Structure 1
C-alpha cells in the first residue's frame, strides 16, 4: 500500500518531473512490442503529461518569472531532446524579446539583448510563428528560422523550430527550441504546443490575479476615502449644531 504524505491543507504536493521520468519517456532504444504508430502516440502523450505537470509545478512554487521560465525551458529541452529552449515575448510595436533565463544560452550570448520585429504584412517568419503557427519542418528544422538566427548573430545553431505561445485569442509570443540531437519532429511540435498553451493559460491567470489585487486595493482606498468623508460631514454637523446652540443661547440672553 502506498502512503502519501499530505501538507497542512490536505492536498498532495505536486512534484516536478524527475530526470528519470523524462529519460524513460524519451528513451528511443526501449523495446516496442506494439505498432510503431501506437508507440509514438503513447510517447507523445507521456511527454505532454510531463510538460503539463512541469508547468503546474513550477507555477505552484511561487518562483519569480525568470526562475519559472528558466526551469520550464530546461524541462522542455529534455522532453524534445534540444540543447536550448527559449520563450520569446511579444512586446510593444510588435517587437520580440527574450524572456529572462532561456535554457542553454550563455550569459554572453547576444540572444539576451536581441530584439526582433514580428512584422505586420503576414510574411515574416516571426509573425507566422506567433499568429499563424504554420512553420513547416523540413528535414528536422525550419530553414527560415535558422536563417533568421544567423542574420541576427546567433551562430552555431544547427536546427530550430517554433510554435505560437498563446491562450485563446491572446498571443504572447513564441516558444522556440534549438539544436535537436536528431532533428525536430511533428511530435516535438505537439509537445511544444502543449507547453505553450499551458504557459499561456498560466500567464492569463496571473494577469487576472494582478488585476484583482489592483481592484481590491482601489476599493479599499475608495472605502477609506468614503469613511473619511462621512467623518468630515459628521464633524461638520456637530460643529454646526454647536454654533446654532450657542447663537440660540445668546439670543435668549438678549431677550432677558
Structure 2
C-alpha cells in the first residue's frame, strides 16, 4: 500500500495520542479507586510526592483578584484599606498617619501607562474542595470522573481519525461520522461543565479570601479574591463544536456528490 503524505508525522501524532489515552485511562481508574475506597490520593516516587495530600476533589472556577490600592496605618494603631475605585483617599488628619502604602503595577518603560490592580483569569482555575456532606464529595468525584471520560473519548476519536488517515480512507463519508461525533462531544462536554458549575455555585456560593488573626480574631482584607463557579463553560468551544458538525456534513455531501459524478462519467 502506498504511504500517505506526512506518514511519519501522522505516526508521531498517533503515538502521542496513544500515550495520552493510556495516561488518562490509568488516571481514571486510579481516581476511581481512590474515590470508591477512600484511600490516600498521593504516592511517593523518588523522594517526591505525586498527587494530593489533602482530601477532596478538583473543581473548576473563575478567579478574580483585586489587590489593595492603598493601605494607611495611623499612629493610634488603626488602619484603613482602600480597594478598587478609592485610589486617592482623602487625608484630613495627615499628622496622625504613621505609614501609607501604595500597591501598584509600574511600567518602567512607559510611565504614562497605568495598570490597575483588578485582575481576572479568563481560563478556568482548579481548586481543591472537601465537604462534611458526603453527597457533595460524591457529586464532585462523579463529575470529575465524567469529565475525564469526555477527554478520553476525544483522544479515542482522534486516534481513530489518525488511523483512517494512515490507511488512506480519511475522506470516505463514514469518516465524517467521527468528525460529527467529535463536534457533538465538545458541545455536550461544555453543557455538562455548565450544569456542574451551576450546582457548584449553589453548593459553595461565591467564596472570598479572608485572613483572620488567631490571637485577636480580627479579619484582615488586603485584597478582594473571589471564585466564580457558575461561568466555567466555554461558549467558544460550543461554537467550534457546531462548526465541526456543519463542516463535516458539508464535506460529506461534497464527497458523495463527487462519487456520483465519477460513477456517471
Give the structure-2-normalised TM-score. Answer: 0.28
The answer to which structure has the higher strand fraction is: 2
Which protein has the larger Cα radius of gyration, Structure 1 or Structure 2?
1
Q: Point out the structure with the larger helix share.
A: 1
Which structure ranks higher in relative contact order (CA pairs < 8 Å, sequence separation ≥ 6)?
2
The two structures have a TM-score, normalised by structure 1, of 0.29
